[in-house]
Structure 1
Amino acid sequence: MVWKRFLPYLCVRLIPQNLMFSNFCHLLNCIILKIIILKMGKRVLFIIDQIKTGGAEKILLEYDKYLLSHGYKTKIFVLYNDNDNERYEYGCRANTSNIIVKTIQQFKLYWKLRTVINNYKPDVLFSFLERSNILASWLPTTAIKVVTVHNILSIQYKKLHPILFRIMKKVIRTCYSRVPILIAVSNSIKCDLMKKYNLAGDNIIVVTNKTDPFKIEIASNEPISEFEWDHNAKYLINIGRFCHQKAQWKVIKTIKYLKTNYPELNMKGIIMGDGELKSDLYKYRAKLHLEDEIIIMPYQKNPYKFIKKSDIFLLPSYFEGCPIVLSEVIALGIPFVGSKPAVPIDYFCSDISEWNNATFEITNFSDFDYNIDSETKEIGEKVIKQLSTLSSVSGTRQWNESNNKEKQFDEYTKLIED
């Protein structure tokens, strides 16, 4: 980026000397210099709840690299940390479930962020996830505020006590009305914010999550050596954090249904990830006698080779709005079935019939139940249909033509520049 230091000088020299006395040329020269200096020195402060293995964290870190490569200055503030990283600035050591301690933490985070802002003097505040978004909306600063919403909030907070739900609803409506730019990662999230939280919507911009198709296509060609692949089986795969909202027990239950009703498929499963429900998933798999049929494995450095070789991807998440892993699945041309909240209709260019063929309604919110209910049957039958028609691949082909994270980040940057 050394060449950028000489841009102001070059701009002056490129304007002919015999025109330098012209007021017009002088004014033009000043404008060019100001634009270059402003862009070169623009500071972005990222704020996020935590940095683990989630999609929002991945987007932040990749966008951070993008901005640095384009001459911006960045700082990352993480509300809660488990592992120290000198690249980030942290607020609190760890999150807590104690309501009194949590309240004290919020005040501590607020004042620490104010100190960071006073010292760093950012031009842009760019926040990810709800705690960070709410804090960012109340911070006194002249910086442009951009908040990003990655989940369908009315479903995410469904399990709250009714009084807490109403309080949270009012807090979100108040805070999100205060920010000039709110990025929703799908139209479903935008509609949810407008209908359930009464937001006007004029500050909500939809930018879907994208990936790097060239990079993951190369990585997907690497051979699998972690276990012996059964070439006589059909593989169903799921990748994600082992937590309530990802609902991976529905993946196990669906495989049980398929093995019972379609034994000729010899269906096997791969569930990749890590998290607090890991031991529960192992027990649930054993209870359904699927230890030899389903591989539960930790996150892999190269998950793409497993996706590419699988026959179908299943995404039963409760309230994810636009998971990055789905854009990766689409880039690799693998058919998929997912819950309606987790699969944006944007991917199907608003073709509702194609979208319906690849999605299902969540009707069972019970954790780790053993009943093969109507929801499980619907998921299983849609898996069978996708295996034969591949309609989720053809239905997302048009969107996949623009499935490039550089375009996603270009859209982000245009918003903060405009």
Structure 2
Amino acid sequence: MKKILLIMPYGSVGGMERLALNFYSKYKEQGFEVKAIKIIQLPSDIITFNEDEIALSKVDFNQMSFISRLLFYVKIPFVIRKVVKKYDITHSISFGDMANVFSSLSFTKEYKIASIHALKSVEFVNKNFLATVFKLAFKTSYYFFDKVVCISEAIKKDLIQNCGYAFSRNLTVIYNPHDVQEINRLSMIEIDLEDEMKLFQNNKVVLFLGRLSCQKAPWHLIKSFSLVVGEEKNLKLVLIGDGDENVTSYLTQLVATLDLTESVVFLGRKSNPYHYLKSATVLALSSYYEGTPNVIVEAIATETPIVSSNCTDGIMELMSIHQQATSSDLIITESGVVTPNFFKGSLAIPHNNDFTHEEKLFAKALSLVLQDSTFKENLITNQEQLLSKFDLDRIASSYLKPL
């Protein structure tokens, strides 16, 4: 019988964590023994694995001293090694750079799988200690993986061409799976707060769902929204998710500066975001870079049209049935509209609030989807074909199969 270990940094409600939970539930359903390591377990965790969860620390990295953090880094591979031996693990799956590196350094003999979820050449623009370590691992310790899963063709190509990845023999592309039936079930559970329910019932809603971070660049969305809010009655921008304090502080100031206080609502984390997503008029994603963002597939599953920046070539793999050429203008797909990428070489919070050409195009795309119901109709017509490549049963099995 297969005995599976899942390894992840945190238990927040991000895409990697939701993926790990999907795998956990599916493998348990198939009768496998499953354990899950969280490098950091926090009281605010939304993703949990019950009695199968193993926490390496209940103190976050930013609360550790420099020396304590270094000692903890050294300790992690040894703890992973002990867990693998204790539970006689046959397969391990790690999620993201941090978990991948520590798994690779545990020097265990199970079938070892890593997963990469974003365009690394863009992510490594911000040079820091961890980025340096992660990039070095692509040329060294990733040798010890039997399989390294890229969640899009674009990510695999980026690793080889732009990141010096040295072990192309172990790379493969497997899309993130999605339990569409479960998403639809959760989307039918009504919002339990009356004021939030009325917010969605009484307004057209542009929804952001994700971490408020520099990667997601939500300031571009807010600025684009400010250009269309006067065109529509009862239009709101709702942001669901938490994030970096510096980012959230800047966003709050930006909303005030643009006189959007009555039109922009921050709802924080939600353990079940799917009814909010189903109730929204349009999902908006303004990221600088992504892999294959789960929220795009979740929007398709809940029949919510999408406006997204071209934050990765993988966005076309999600939003369109047929691959389309990149454009300097708007690209209409079966699930919504793709706009030019906002990324200009910096992942930092902007120094000014000047409007960019890309923000004006994003606003144009929002207007199109808000005003034209055929976008939703087209999505519904093509939904089954768009979702066919994300079947959870098939993908969960694909992870465990040898290359």
TM normalised by structure 1 equals 0.79
* 1:273 correspondence with 2:238: no
Question: Residue 127 of structure 1: which of 80, 85, 94 is its match?
Answer: 94
Kept after mapping to 2: 8 A contact 1:257/1:372: no
Structure-to-structure mapping, 1:237-316, within 5 angstroms: 237-259=207-229, 263-264=231-232, 267-277=235-245, 278-316=248-286
Kept after mapping to 1: 8 A contact 2:200/2:280: no
Kept after mapping to 2: 8 A contact 1:349/1:396: no
Q: How much has 1:168 moved relative to structure 2? A: 4.0
* 1:110 correspondence with 2:80: no
Quickly say closer, same or farther: Cα 1:68–1:213, change in 2 above 3 A.
closer
Q: How much has 1:144 moved relative to structure 2? A: 0.7
- SS at structure 2 position matched to 1:291: coil
Kept after mapping to 2: 8 A contact 1:188/1:341: no
Deviates more, 1:320-329 or 1:167-176: 167-176
Partner residue, 1:398:
385
Deviations 1:18-66 (A, max 9, x none): xxxxxxxxxxxxxxxxxxxxxxx32112211122221111111221121
Q: What's the % identity of the aligned pairs?
A: 23
Q: Is there any run of 5+ residues in structure 1 with no aligned partner, and where?
A: 1-40
Higher alpha-carbon Rg: 1
Q: Which has the higher contact order (CA 8 A, sep 6+)?
A: 2
Matched length: 373
* 1:57 correspondence with 2:17: yes
Q: How much has 1:279 moved relative to structure 2? A: 4.2
Kept after mapping to 1: 8 A contact 2:177/2:396: no
Which residue identity does 1:411 align to in structure 2?
Answer: S
Structure-to-structure mapping, 1:140-151, within 5 angstroms: 140-151=107-118
Q: How much has 1:75 moved relative to structure 2? A: 1.5
Quickly say closer, same or farther: Cα 1:299–1:96, change in 2 above 3 A.
closer
Partner residue, 2:136:
170
Structure-to-structure mapping, 1:357-372, within 5 angstroms: 357=331, 358-364=338-344, 365=346, 366-367=348-349, 369-372=352-355
- SS at structure 2 position matched to 1:313: strand
Partner residue, 1:187:
153
Kept after mapping to 1: 8 A contact 2:98/2:134: no
Q: How much has 1:384 moved relative to structure 2? A: 2.7
- SS at structure 2 position matched to 1:202: helix
Quickly say closer, same or farther: Cα 1:298–1:363, change in 2 above 3 A.
closer
- SS at structure 1 position matched to 2:160: helix
Q: How much has 1:328 moved relative to structure 2? A: 0.8
Quickly say closer, same or farther: Cα 1:330–1:132, change in 2 above 3 A.
same
Q: How much has 1:86 moved relative to structure 2? A: 4.9
Q: How much has 1:314 moved relative to structure 2? A: 0.7
Kept after mapping to 1: 8 A contact 2:3/2:91: yes
CA-atom RMSD, angstroms? Answer: 2.9
Distance across 1 between alignment mates of 2:56 and 2:353: 42
- SS at structure 1 position matched to 2:292: coil
Deviations 1:323-374 (A, max 9, x none): 2221110112222122323553222245214996114212354525422112
Q: How much has 1:205 moved relative to structure 2? A: 1.8
* 1:322 correspondence with 2:292: yes
Q: How much has 1:166 moved relative to structure 2? A: 5.4
Kept after mapping to 2: 8 A contact 1:127/1:147: yes
Deviates more, 1:375-384 or 1:230-239: 230-239
Q: How much has 1:231 moved relative to structure 2? A: 6.5
Higher helix share: 1
Q: Is there any run of 5+ residues in structure 2 with no aligned partner, and where?
A: 332-337
Deviates more, 1:52-61 or 1:242-251: 242-251
Distance across 2 between alignment mates of 1:344 and 1:164: 27
Distance across 1 between alignment mates of 2:131 and 2:97: 14
Distance across 1 between alignment mates of 2:81 and 2:188: 47
